[in-house]
Amino acid sequence: MNSMLTTDRQDERLQSREGLRGAITDVVERARGGDLGVIPVVVGLIVIWTVLQILNPVFLSSANLVNLTLESAAVGVIALGIVCVLLVGEIDLSVGSVSGLSAAVLAVLFVGQDLPVWLAIAASVVMGAVIGWVYAQLYNRFGVPSFVITLAGLLAFLGLQLYVLGTKGSINLPFDSGLVAFAQLDFVPAWLSYTFAVLAAGGLFLTGYVHARERRRAGLSAKGVPVLALRSAALLVVLLFVVWYLGQTRGVGWMFVFFVALVLIMHYFLSRTKWGRSVYAVGGNVEAARRAGINVKAVYTSVFVLCSTFAAVGGILAAARLAAANQSSGAGDVNLNAIAAAVIGGTSLFGGRGTAFGALLGIIVIQSISSGLTLLNLDSSIRFVVTGVVLLLAVVVDSVARKSRTSHGRA
């Protein structure tokens, strides 16, 4: 009799969690337990946008936001690779140099050797993947810390970039090439942008419904259809407004769409595949993952290869955006901004926590600060200081949340 009452109460609890109130309660409980998700970065982005808009009304104009999205894509792709490495508790300090070398190789092969652009792009991407594979071998076979490996790579590939460019130091890409047009001139037609928005909202509902059905079959709590529909409707309204607002000037750039597509692909692999679960497991506890039968060395190899590959792709996009590859490609703050974007986006430096969307949110925060302070005609030193403060706050929030998860038994 008591067992029947207990089962009935559990069923009632599961059903209550499927409603809107249950969903809100679940979010509150997770936040109290230290699982903040993207809440801090979204709140921070709202605050940053509000302050910058008050200081300069041009900041949230359609024209400036279009530029912001296009400027975010190249470093955002690099940050996506950093997310993969941070998820296993490692780091790659050479992504800036790898991106610069990739841009140099692209320019030399495409302009200097007159090879087809697609072949030059393929060679640059393969080069990035090989670099990541070499990193993985040094890490897996010899146990060299990733910090040391990638720091050496930072210096070595910077020198190799200068060697590849030669005495010219700069190579311009043809403005009439499809690659430059993709980064500077090509925008999604309005009807297709709205179609993408509808498909994104529909995809969110469909994936949420399938996931909820699987959880119910396993006897676990799950979001109800009304909650899933409300969430998808909210996303649809936001995306339709964004598409409409950006369409007041040039619209949504194909390069930014490409970046978002990569984020969605990586989100799927990280959250819906065995490989993704293995990445989180290794980042959470390497020894436990090894004893569970996970090929830890293969996981490390995959994330290092992905990180360097994304760095190469980001370097190609940056060169296309600038229509040139030079000695400063990948230099300056590219390296630090990519790492900062991943961390600010919610990826934990301790490993095991973060999402692909962290790269998207983080780079928008970084680029918003850069764009806003540029509009205010402030020196770049101020931008570095503000970005550093935001990064420090993100790490502090992550540390506090980690302690809270530990105290609640969710670490």
CATH class for the region spanning 37-408: mainly alpha
CA distance 185 to 46: 29
C-alpha closest to that of 371 among 384, 383, 389, 358: 383
pLDDT one-digit tens code per residue, 279-292: 999 999 999 999 99
Q: pLDDT at position 3, please?
A: 44
DSSP class of residue 324?
A: E
DSSP class of residue 19?
A: S
Q: pLDDT at position 25, please?
A: 60
Q: Per-residue confidence at 5, pLDDT binned at 50, 70, 90?
A: very low
- Work out the mean pLDDT of the chain and round it to a whole number: 87
Contact 53, 60 (CB under 8 A): yes
Q: Per-residue confidence at 6, pLDDT binned at 50, 70, 90?
A: very low
Q: pLDDT at position 352, please?
A: 86
Judge whether residue 15 has pLDDT over 50: no
pLDDT one-digit tens code per residue, 298-312: 999 999 999 999 999
Q: Which has the minimum average pLDDT: 190-199, 275-284, 391-400? A: 391-400
β-strands 324-326, 170-172 pairing? antiparallel
For 319-340, what is the mean pLDDT? 90
Alpha helices in 88-116 (DSSP H): 95-107
CA distance 40 to 47: 11
pTM recorded for the entire structure: 0.90
For 203-231, what is the mean pLDDT? 86
Residues with Cβ within 8 Å of residue 9, at least 6 apart in sequence: none
Bigger pLDDT: 18 or 341? 341
Bigger pLDDT: 406 or 147? 147
Bigger pLDDT: 394 or 402? 394
Give the domain ranges of the chain.
37-408
Radius of gyration of the chain, Cα coordinates, nearest whole angstrom: 23
Judge whether residue 379 has pLDDT over 80: no
DSSP string spanning 362-406? HHHHHHHHHHHHHHTT--HHHHHHHHHHHHHHHHHHHHHHHHHHH
Q: pLDDT at position 407, please?
A: 61
Bigger pLDDT: 398 or 53? 53
Contact 128, 317 (CB under 8 A): no
Judge whether residue 278 has pLDDT over 80: yes
Residues with Cβ within 8 Å of residue 390, at least 6 apart in sequence: 44, 48, 340, 344, 365, 369
Q: pLDDT at position 408, please?
A: 52
For 238-249, what is the mean pLDDT? 95
Q: pLDDT at position 26, please?
A: 57
- Provide, rounded to the nearest whole percent, the portion of the chain with pLDDT above 90: 61
For 328-340, what is the mean pLDDT? 87
- Provide, rounded to the nearest whole percent, the portion of the chain with pLDDT above 70: 88
Bigger pLDDT: 8 or 255? 255
pLDDT one-digit tens code per residue, 131-186: 999 999 999 999 999 999 999 999 999 999 999 998 888 999 999 899 999 999 99
As beta bridge partners, residue 172 has: 324
Q: Per-residue confidence at 251, pLDDT binned at 50, 70, 90?
A: very high
Q: pLDDT at position 264, please?
A: 94
Q: What share of the chain is helix, strand, coil (3-state, %, to 5)?
A: 75, 0, 20
Q: pLDDT at position 333, please?
A: 84
For 217-229, what is the mean pLDDT? 82
C-alpha count within 13 angstroms, C-beta hemisphere, residue 253: 24
253 in helix, strand or coil?
Answer: strand
Q: Per-residue confidence at 27, pLDDT binned at 50, 70, 90?
A: low
